[in-house]
Chains A and B, each alone.
Chain A
Amino acid sequence: MKTDNQQKTNRTLTKNASLTPSTPLTPFIYGLIDCNSFYASCEKVFRPALADRPVVVLSNNDGCIVARSAEAKTLGIPMGEPFHKVRKLCQKEGVAVFSSNYALYGDMSRRVMQTIARFATDIEVYSIDEAFLNFTTHRYLASHDHDSTAEGVLASDPVRDGLTDAAYYRQIVRSVGQWTGIPTSIGVGPTKTLAKAANRLAKMDGTTACLLLDRAEREAQLRRLPVEDVWGVGRRLLPKLNRLGVHTAWDLSQLDPSDLRHRFSVVQETMVRELRGEACLELDQQPAPRQNMQVSRSFRKRIEDFDHLAATVAGFASRAGEKMRGQGGAASGIYVFIATGRYRKEPQHADAAAIDFSTPTIDSGRLVPAAIELLRRIYRPGFLYQKAGVILLDIRPQDSADRQQQYLFDLGQDRPEAERLMKTVDQLNASLGSSSVVFGSALGAEDWAPAANYCSPRYTTRWEDLPTVG
């Protein structure tokens, strides 16, 4: 199975290769590996009785369904559905229900990523259950026996080292499954966008690996993939593409990249070029640059009292959330900083802290308590603070191509209600003046602990929660 890669003799890989879409790079092999029904799969690892049973996991506050095992999908339980609507169905069908156990999922994610890192020198952890891999130079286990810990040298010949063969990638999936118990799927292609597309095709076909390296096979494959499943095509772009007669990934790849740049932006041009096999994005590069949203102030009157400072920081978080929602974004993390007046002859203190959300959030009901908690960690009594600020980190588009992720936005309540609440708050603030409606700052830390009625033990992070063997 000859690919374009072998035609080229000059295969030096330049780390700082130009990234403008007009310059195709030397051939790459990218993989996108992701876990199947990740949260549900984590719960199954330690409850073998649930191996073939339907399992669902609920969002914060047990509000809605954020994960379903394959068996639960077959029962027709929709992603993102408010739990109370399917509670009876779950009882009737014996569906195992779990509250989110982020301690467990975070630890299992770490294990999965560490395992994957044994198979590729370059790895980008894209989300809690997905990673991009660069196989173009790679490290591999010298033998396929699990007992062996010998490692091979960096490869430069994809065919000799089996990188054009699905069997190699299936072995990675098998190893991840064996070592961690988590089932995964992998898509492989000459660009990140094609690797993502290959992964979607693998899921559609129910296989563990799909390769889009062969140009000759690519057309048939991309014709099978709906355009809304392409990385970067969201709710807003889809109807516009449909109007251009674009319904499949293949249709999209046939558009003129420069034309797309004029109609939309360089982001969409990159998408088309990548679908055609021109690698424009390296690892750790997103189609659009990472965005942050900052709200900060210097105070005319310095603040010493914690409650006063907390109210201020809560306001900043609230306002930042409002602006972010107005731009259709969701925050991956939040950063809070405070500082005393630098130019005064007074005791000085400045500090900052940040926290990542496991899934991007639009909900001020999460942003505000997180900001207050971070403030609690950095505040020190006895200082006159002159400046404070909140930065929402790594803002992702709300309507991302991975539609599954839309429902993973961690909302404090049922998804439709929280969205309506946010909309109402934003509208009121727009008409009555900013900050007319604000979230009450969490006066007690326990106020923001979410309800979780279906918790599983923290099997891998708490000694008292270890699985038992008889």
Chain B
Amino acid sequence: MIARYIKRTCCPRPLAAVRIQAGFPSPADDYMETALDLNEYMIDNPPATFFVRVTGESMTGAGIFPDDLLVVDRSVAPHDGDIVVAVLDGEFTVKRLARTSGRVALIAENPNFPPIRITGESDLQIWGVVRHAIRSF
């Protein structure tokens, strides 16, 4: 329901550490910093960042397990060795990209899953690059 684009410049300002009383400011005031923000840590480019949920065990060797949350950035150029979300036969899959001169393959990190060789560069569609995996306990 977007009617207006509002440029938002949000600068969270740190509060002073203590209520200001006459005469004695806190020695920490000059060193105050904003609280840590996970969004800032994890998301470089908000409009291009999506969350997906992992099913299957093809990437357990890389530390990605079923039910993990992945932070995927569509605006980052994929490089050899990156973990990517790709489209294969109309389905999403998460694999490590192996791109060497002329050859492209999607490698699983689990001995039970064979590598997938891509016959032509045009057959491979990279949906986005995985930047973070989040696991809950």
A residues with CB within 8 A of B: 48-51, 102, 106, 109-115, 117, 123-125, 128, 131, 145-147, 149, 175, 178-181, 332-333, 355-358, 459-460, 463, 466-470
CB distance from A101 to the nearest CB of B (A): 12
For chain B, the bracket of interface size reads 20 to 34
Q: Is the CB of B90 within 8 A of A51?
A: yes
**Given the complex, which residues of B lie within 8 Å of A106, measured CB to CB?**
1-2
Interface Cβ pair total, 8 Å cutoff = 100
Q: Is the CB of A112 within 8 A of B91?
A: no
A110-B3 in contact given A48-B125, A467-B53 (Cβ < 8 Å):
no
**Interface SS of A by simple majority:** mixed
Q: State A110–B1 Cα separation when bound (angstroms).
A: 9
CB distance from A462 to the nearest CB of B (A): 10
> Which of B2, B56, B90 makes the CB contact (< 8 A) with A470?
B56
Q: Is the CB of B75 within 8 A of A131?
A: no
Q: Is the CB of A470 within 8 A of B77?
A: no
> B40-52, CB under 8 A of A: which get 1 and which 0?
0000111110111
Q: State A115–B70 Cα separation when bound (angstroms).
A: 22
Q: Decide yes or no whether B97 CB sits under 8 A from chain A.
A: no
A112-B3 in contact given A48-B87, A49-B91, A470-B93 (Cβ < 8 Å):
no
**Given the complex, which residues of B lie within 8 Å of A48, measured CB to CB?**
87, 90-92, 125, 127
Q: Is the CB of B74 within 8 A of A178?
A: yes
**Given the complex, which residues of A lie within 8 Å of B75, measured CB to CB?**
146, 175, 178-179
Give the residue name and chain of the A residue nearest to B4 (CB). Answer: A125
A468-B46 in contact given A48-B127, A125-B3, A179-B75 (Cβ < 8 Å):
no
Q: State A459–B127 Cα separation when bound (angstroms).
A: 15
Q: Is the CB of B48 within 8 A of A468?
A: no
18 chain-A/chain-B pairs, Cβ below 8 angstroms:
A48-B91, A49-B91, A111-B46, A115-B48, A117-B5, A128-B2, A145-B77, A146-B77, A149-B45, A355-B1, A358-B1, A463-B51, A466-B52, A466-B53, A468-B54, A469-B92, A470-B55, A470-B56
> Which of B2, B87, B93 makes the CB contact (< 8 A) with A110?
B2
Q: Is the CB of A112 within 8 A of B47?
A: yes
> Which of A50, A111, A149 makes the CB contact (< 8 A) with B47?
A111
Give the residue name and chain of the B residue nearest to A128 (CB). Answer: B2
Please give 6 more A-B residue pairs, beta carbons under 8 A apart, in addition to A125-B5, A146-B75: A179-B75, A181-B74, A467-B50, A468-B52, A469-B85, A469-B93
B residues with CB within 8 A of A: 1-5, 7, 44-48, 50-56, 58, 69-70, 74-77, 85, 87, 90-94, 125, 127
Which of A131, A463, A468, A469 is the most central at the interface, judged by chain B CB atoms within 10 Å of its CB?
A469
Q: Is the CB of A110 within 8 A of B47?
A: yes
Which of B2, B44, B48, B56 is the most central at the interface, judged by chain A CB atoms within 10 Å of its CB?
B2
Q: Is the CB of B3 within 8 A of A470?
A: no
Q: Is the CB of A179 within 8 A of B48?
A: yes
Give the residue name and chain of the B residue nearest to A394 (CB). Answer: B3
Which of B48, B53, B87, B127 is the most central at the interface, judged by chain A CB atoms within 10 Å of its CB?
B48
> Which of A112, A114, A181, A467 makes the CB contact (< 8 A) with B46?
A114
CB distance from A452 to the nearest CB of B (A): 16
Q: State A178–B49 Cα separation when bound (angstroms).
A: 11
**Given the complex, which residues of A lie within 8 Å of B74, measured CB to CB?**
178-181
**Given the complex, which residues of A lie within 8 Å of B76, measured CB to CB?**
146-147
Q: State A128–B2 Cα separation when bound (angstroms).
A: 6
Give the residue name and chain of the B residue nearest to A459 (CB). Answer: B50
Q: Is the CB of B55 within 8 A of A468?
A: yes
**Given the complex, which residues of B lie within 8 Å of A175, measured CB to CB?**
75
Q: Is the CB of A468 within 8 A of B92?
A: yes
Q: State A124–B4 Cα separation when bound (angstroms).
A: 7
CB distance from A41 to the nearest CB of B (A): 14
Give the residue name and chain of the B residue nearest to A357 (CB). Answer: B1
